[in-house]
Copies of this chain bind each other. A is one copy, B any other.
Amino acid sequence: MNFSSRLLEEAVNEFSKLPGVGQKTALRLVLHLLNKDEAEIGRFAGAMVTLKKDIKYCTVCHNISDDETCSICTSPKRDHETICVVEDTRDVMAIENTNQYFGSYHVLGGLISPMDGVGPSDLQIESLVKRVATHPVKEIILALSANMEGDTTLFYLHKKLKDFNIPITTIARGIAFGGELEYADEVTLGRSIITRVPYENTLIKG
């Protein structure tokens, strides 16, 4: 691109480093912001800087938090003996949005991925083992992505946790609600037949 201004080019380059943002989109975002007043741009830039500077991670579950311990880990309404292990804070938010889970979480901060140089020691796995060893836990739910990194992490976690003799479960895989059978991939469809459940179990009680 032919930029008429070096400052403009720098701002566009910074924006185009964001995932999924190319140079044209970056230019559109920068010109959009440029039309705002200085205070508004200051708020935009400041929010990110403040977040990075003041962000805390819950000392129990390692979720992003404003305090030492997050609101879920301190809530008396939650079941702290059930731990749902997830990759990152987005998964916590996604599960919270379902309003179907009332236990606590453990945020790994990623998945084991030798390709990206992420090993078990880069994740909050030791602290999970310690947490399970020192607190009463009645179930560990592994809610990880169904890809190679997820499966590797699942395997590793199971190995680390199985000696505690606590039920370890994983979230159900299958055809999505609203999904049509003919468009489902073979692996999902095949596994959904193998792991079929009694019809009565699928009825929501209450």
A65 within 8 A of B: yes
A152 within 8 A of B: no
Residues of B with C-beta under 8 A to A97: 1-2
- Mask, A13-24, CB within 8 Å of B = 1, is 111011111000
Kindly state the separation between the CA atoms of A21 and B25 in the bound complex, as whole angstroms. 11
Residues of B with C-beta under 8 A to A70: 4
Kindly state the separation between the CA atoms of A58 and B14 in the bound complex, as whole angstroms. 24
Contact of A93 (CB < 8 Å), options: B2, B7, B21, B30? B2
CB pair B96–A64 under 8 Å, yes or no, is no
A25, A47, A48, A93, most chain B CB atoms within 10 A:
A48
- Mask, A49-89, CB within 8 Å of B = 1, is 11111111010000111100011100000000000000011
Copies assembled: 2
Kindly state the separation between the CA atoms of A61 and B21 in the bound complex, as whole angstroms. 29
How close is A41's CB to chain B, nearest CB, in angstroms?
Answer: 5
A171 within 8 A of B: no
CB pair B66–A6 under 8 Å, yes or no, is yes
A44 within 8 A of B: yes
A45 within 8 A of B: yes
A5-B55, A14-B43 given. 14 additional CB < 8 A pairs?
A1-B97, A2-B96, A2-B97, A4-B63, A4-B65, A4-B89, A8-B55, A14-B48, A18-B33, A19-B32, A20-B25, A33-B52, A34-B64, A45-B48
